[in-house]
Amino acid sequence: MKTVLTQAQRIVVKVGSSLVTNQGEGLDLKALNNWAQQIANLRGKGCEVVLVSSGAIAEGMQRLGWKKRPNAVHELQAAAAVGQMGLVQAYESCFRQHQLHAAQVLLTHADLADRERYLNARSTLRTLLNLGVIPIINENDTVVTDEIKFGDNDTLGALVANLIEADAFVILTDQDGLYTADPRKDPGAKLISEAQAGDAKLEEMAGGAGSHIGRGGMITKVLAAKRAARSGAHTVIASGHERDVLPRLLQGESIGTLLAAAALALDARKQWLADHLQVSGKVTLDAGAVRVLRNEGKSLLSIGVTQISGDFQRGAVVAVLDTEGRDIARGLVNYSADEARRIAGKASGEIEAILGYVDEPELIHRDNLVLL
């Protein structure tokens, strides 16, 4: 099954902080040169590569002489601003040795939540790839806040894979892959060679956060693979310490863990809906409505709604929850929160009598609804 990567033409590669900063001791130029060489190898074989790289905050900490990652948002933003300079300069220098240009692209969730900005970001990245440039992407930590942050570069990498409709998403870490248990604590833990992205058992196996320098852990990588699979991208979680790991993976060699995308890729509009990490409100359904959405692919009617949370306007992206409060879908709502509360639990034929008008018979039309 690893041979699915031999067909990959467009690839997103994510490298973690520990692989570019010597565990927080500043940028590892030897490591960056290594990534540049491997990516140049892929480019020489006709592959388009986007690099999602951590390391800006860690580099900023080193330049500022900070030994411990700060908790204050303004200090993290300052460290990112200082460190981003060194990170981009170093990558540009490394890629130039291989006659390649690099481009810096900083993103926030707001860039991808807004449909127009989402399309602009996609156009920019595709243009850079067509020009043979290596986009280097990071979260815009200099302006990001808790309300709009991706939270980790694994999630950001998956969103970028969806954005450009990549064939493969490679997450390089300091672990050999996904294990049945945490190998640092359980000597009996076994490496999982292949599995299906989105398998609930994988989330149970994944451990907690990783190093004190980065923010991600194995659970973020499992969830990122699930997200990337929505656009048809296969994910590999592998050790960045493996020699020539990228060329070997694309030659079909079995390294790390392959989490294969089984489902058909969502169309672009529904992919944009699915990629919303923050939503304007929540709509809770009864069991019957959940069953209809999951099994029959129909629109969401107001009669199946039991609760409305949040304050949103018509056209906002909302989360759809089941009876247990689990997030099962995203959708563009046809009524505001106040209007939705008034018609919740009511039949479509009653909407006009309740509101004095009717825009749409559905609360969320199936064309604007995507199951998660």
Task: Pick the more confident residue, 269 or 372.
Answer: 372
What is the Cα 347 distance to its own chain's centre?
A: 37
Would you say 372 and 329 are in contact if contact means Cβ atoms under 8 Å apart?
yes
- Domain extent, residue 297, equals 279-371
212 pLDDT band (50/70/90 cuts)?
A: very low
Indicate whether 263 and 331 sit together in one domain: no
Question: What is the signed CA dihedral for 198, 203, 205, 211, rounded to 10 degrees?
Answer: 120
Q: Which range (38-52, 117-131, 138-152, 285-299) has the least confidence?
A: 138-152
Note whether 121 and 207 are same-domain residues: yes
Residue 211: pLDDT band (50, 70, 90) is very low
Among 225, 184, 187, residue whose Cα is nearest residue 203: 225
Shared domain check, 359 and 222: no
pLDDT at residue 237 tops 90: yes
Q: What is the pLDDT of residues 320-347, one digit of tens each?
A: 999 999 888 888 898 999 999 999 999 9
Query: Last residue of some domain: 248, 270, 292?
Result: 270
| pLDDT at residue 19 is higher than 50 | yes
Helices 73-96 and 29-44: angle between axes, nearest 10 degrees: 60
Residue 219 and residue 287 share a domain: no
Q: Are 244 and 361 part of one and the same domain?
A: no
Residues 83 and 132 in one domain: yes
Q: Which of 212, 236, 270 is the last residue of a domain?
A: 270
Indicate the pairing of strand 327-332 with strand 317-321. antiparallel
Of 119-128, 142-151, 317-326, the least confident = 142-151
Residues 328 and 242 occupy one common structural domain: no
Highest mean pLDDT range out of 59-73, 154-168, 203-217, 271-285? Answer: 154-168
Whether residues 260 and 361 fall in one domain: no
Average the pLDDT over each of 47-56, 86-95, 144-153, 274-283 and give the range with the smallest value: 144-153
The secondary element (H helix, E strand) that includes residue 238 is strand 234-239
pLDDT at 133 over 50: yes
Based on the domain organization, do 48 and 170 belong to the same domain?
A: yes
- Of 237, 270, 303, the residue at which a domain comes to its end is 270
Residue 25 has a pLDDT of 67
Q: How confident is the model at residue 61 (pLDDT cuts 50, 70, 90)?
A: confident
On whether the CB atoms of residues 328 and 344 are closer than 8 A, the answer is no
Judged on CB neighbours under 10 Å (0-12, 13-18, 19+), 350 is middle
Domain of 286, CATH number, reads 2.30.130.10
Residue 195 shares a structural domain with residue 168: yes
- Are both 46 and 192 inside the same structural domain? yes
Q: What is the CATH number of the domain that holds 252?
A: 3.40.1160.10
Count CB atoms within 10 A of the CB of residue 92: 17
Model confidence at 1: pLDDT above 80: no
Look up the pTM and report it: 0.76
Contact (Cβ atoms closer than 8 angstroms) between residue 146 and residue 278? no
| Region 288-314 average pLDDT | 91
Least confident stretch, 16-30, 72-86, 164-178, 188-202:
16-30
How many structural domains does the chain have? 2
In b/e form, how buried is each residue of 208-225, taking b as 16+ CB within 10 angstroms? Answer: eebbebbbbbbbbbbbbb
Distances (CA, A) of 105 to 34, 125, 139, 144: 21, 9, 9, 14
Q: CA-CA distance, 56 to 84, in Å (whole number)? A: 5
Read off φ and ψ for residue 32, nearest 5 degrees. -60, -40
Tell me, yes or no, whether 186 and 306 share the same domain: no
Beta bridge partners of 254: none
**Model confidence over 30-54: pLDDT tens digits?**
999 999 999 999 999 999 999 999 8
CB half-sphere exposure, 195, CA atoms < 13 A: 21
Beta strands at 168-173 and 10-15: parallel, antiparallel or unpaired: parallel
Of 94, 92, 66, the residue nearest 80 (C-alpha): 66
Q: Which residue has the higher pLDDT, 125 or 143?
A: 125
Asked if the model's pLDDT at residue 147 lies above 50, the reply is no
What band does 225 get if pLDDT is binned at 50, 70 and 90?
very high
Tell me whether residue 53 is exposed, middle or buried, using C-beta atoms within 10 angstroms of its C-beta: 0 to 12, 13 to 18, 19 or more: buried
Please compute the mean of the pLDDT values over residues 275-299 and round it to a whole number: 87
pLDDT for position 209: 40
Percent over 70 (pLDDT), the chain:
91
Greater confidence, 26 or 76?
A: 76
For the ranges 148-152, 177-181, 237-241, 334-338, which has the lowest average pLDDT? Answer: 148-152
